[in-house]
Amino acid sequence: MTHSIVVGAGVVGLSIAWELVKRGHRVTVVERGRIGRQASWAGAGILLPANEQTAVHPLEQLTALSNRLHAEWSAELRSETGIDNGYQVCGGVYLARSAGEQAALAGLQSFWDECQIKYCPMSSKELAKRYNFIETSQIRAAMSVPEEAQIRNPLHLLALESVCQLRGVDLVSHAEEVVFETQGNELVAIRLGERRITADVFCVAAGAWSSQVLSPLGIQLPMIPVRGQMLLYQSSRFVLKTILNEGSRYIVPRQDGHLLVGSTTEEAGFQSLTTAEGIRELKEFAERLIPKLTSERLLNSWAGLRPATYDGFPYLGKIPNWENGFVATGHFKVGLQQSTGTAVLMAELIETQTPTVEMAVFAPSRVPEFGV
Ligand SMILES: Cc1cc2nc3c(=O)[nH]c(=O)nc-3n(C[C@H](O)[C@H](O)[C@H](O)COP(=O)(O)OP(=O)(O)OC[C@H]3O[C@@H](n4cnc5c(N)ncnc54)[C@H](O)[C@@H]3O)c2cc1C
Cis amide bond preceding 248, omega within 30: no
> How do residues 32-44 score in pLDDT, each as one tens digit?
999 999 999 999 9
Domain range summary for the chain, segments of one domain joined by + = 3-84+153-222+310-370, 92-148+224-309
CA of 356 to the centre of ligand 1 (A): 24
Fold of 3-84+153-222+310-370: FAD/NAD(P)-binding domain (3.50.50)
Q: How confident is the model at residue 369 (pLDDT cuts 50, 70, 90)?
A: confident
Mutate which of 6, 11, 90, 229 for ligand 1 pocket (most atoms within 8 A of beta carbon): 11
Q: Of all residues in the chain, what percent carry a pLDDT higher than 70?
A: 99
pLDDT at 271: 97
> How do residues 78-101 score in pLDDT, each as one tens digit?
999 999 999 999 999 999 999 999
Mean pLDDT of 195-204: 98
Ligand 1, atom 21, lies closest to the CA of 40
Q: Is the CB of residue 304 below 6 angstroms from any atom belonging to ligand 1?
A: yes
Q: How confident is the model at residue 370 (pLDDT cuts 50, 70, 90)?
A: confident
pLDDT at 73: 98
> How do residues 170-186 score in pLDDT, each as one tens digit?
999 999 999 999 999 99
d(CA 217, CA 344): 25
Length of the chain equals 372
**Average pLDDT, rounded, for the chain:** 97
pLDDT at 150: 98
d(CA 208, CA 223): 7
Mean pLDDT of 122-146: 96
Mean pLDDT of 172-201: 97
| 372: pLDDT strictly greater than 60 | no
Architecture of domain 92-148+224-309: 2-Layer Sandwich (3.30)
